[in-house]
């Protein structure tokens, strides 16, 4: 079946601009995660959704970052007043939530954000 | 605090060589999960294996094998008879057992396999 998809694949913007990054999870997956990966590093957690609600947003670096998942499927990560330090690959992952134990997260191809 | 250490930044081997990627983790939890992901040049993280802390059996899948040792907090990954297509960045990751917990990744090991 179809995997996690993310759009756009690349986004170049200027410092101070607003950007939106989209994630379409695997069909039927109720859990959705956003991570950020800087060059030469492993992905770092940003936010986790269970259904429509953000169950854990402890990884968001500051209030310029916000994410929504209004219908419990597609999610949008929003970054206001972008800074050069926001340049990274933004990864989305989804998983089943079959019980109380953690399930495997499956990742999308990522969006490479470059802030000039 | 949870932490994953992949001490090997880069490894280069010639095709058909065996190679082991090291992963050492830290956690105070008694129940947790360990993962390996592969990130080829295309960039997408590909899931390889998931292990829970109560299952210390080694696992083999084709040319891949994993050695989990709680006594040394290690979860090492071996590729037997490496191939050029194995060239990628490999990440080890840790999570708590509860649903919805974030993955804690190591910094990754870049494996280059030459022909």
pLDDT tens digit string along A20-70? Answer: 999 999 998 999 999 999 999 999 999 999 989 998 999 999 999 999 999
Mean pLDDT of B85-103: 89
Whether B26 contacts B115, CB under 8 Å: no
Q: Do B102 and A109 touch (CB under 8 A)?
A: no
Q: In the predicted model, what is the mean pLDDT of residues B89-113? A: 91
Q: Nearest-CA distance from A26 to chain B in Å?
A: 14
**CB distance from B96 to chain A under 8 Å?**
yes
Buried b or exposed e, range B16-35, using 16+ CB within 10 angstroms: eeebebbbbbebeeeebbbb
Neighbours of B11 (CB within 10 A): 17
Q: Which residues pair with A45 in a beta bridge?
A: A35
Residues of A whose CB is below 8 A from B101? 48, 56, 102
Judged against a pLDDT cut of 90, whether residue A12 lies above it is answered with yes
CA closest to B96 among chain A residues: A102
Which positions in chain A have a beta carbon within 8 angstroms of at least one beta carbon in chain B? Answer: 31, 33, 35, 40-45, 48, 50, 55-56, 59, 89, 91, 93, 97, 99-110, 112
The residue ranking higher by pLDDT, A1 or A88, is: A88
* Residue B64 and residue B54 in contact, taking contact as beta carbons nearer than 8 Å: no
Residue pair B55/B109 in contact (Cβ under 8 Å)? The answer is no
Residue B73 in 3-state DSSP? Answer: coil
CB contact under 8 A, B98 and A102: yes
Share of chain B above pLDDT 70, in %: 98
Write down the pLDDT at residue B99.
65
Average pLDDT over residues A5-31: 96
CA of residue A103 relative to chain centroid, distance: 18
Distance CA B60, CA B66 (A): 7
pLDDT of B57 over the 90 cut: no
């Amino acid at each position: 079946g179809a995997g996690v998809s993310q759009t756009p694949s690349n986004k170049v913007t200027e410092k101070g601009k607003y950007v939106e990054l989209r994630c379409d999870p695997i069909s039927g997956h109720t859990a959705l995660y956003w991570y950020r990966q800087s060059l030469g590093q492993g992905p770092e957690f940003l936010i986790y959704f269970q259904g429509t609600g953000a169950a854990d947003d402890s990884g968001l670096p500051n209030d310029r970052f916000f994410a929504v998942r209004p219908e419990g499927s597609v999610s949008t990560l929003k970054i206001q007043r972008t800074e050069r330090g926001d340049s990274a690959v933004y990864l989305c992952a989804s998983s089943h939530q079959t019980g109380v134990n953690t399930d495997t997260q499956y990742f999308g191809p990522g969006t490479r954000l470059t802030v000039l | 605090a949870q932490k994953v250490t992949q001490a090997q930044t880069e490894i280069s081997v010639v095709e058909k060589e065996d190679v082991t990627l090291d992963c050492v983790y830290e956690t105070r939890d008694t129940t947790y999960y360990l993962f390996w992901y592969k990130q080829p040049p295309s960039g997408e993280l590909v899931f390889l294996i998931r292990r829970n802390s109560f299952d210390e059996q080694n696992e083999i899948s084709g040319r891949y094998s994993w050695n989990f040792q709680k006594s040394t907090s290690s979860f090492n990954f071996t590729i037997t008879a490496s191939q050029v297509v194995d060239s990628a960045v490999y990440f080890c990751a840790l999570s708590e057992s509860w649903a919805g917990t974030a993955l804690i990744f190591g910094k990754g090991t870049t494996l280059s396999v030459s022909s």
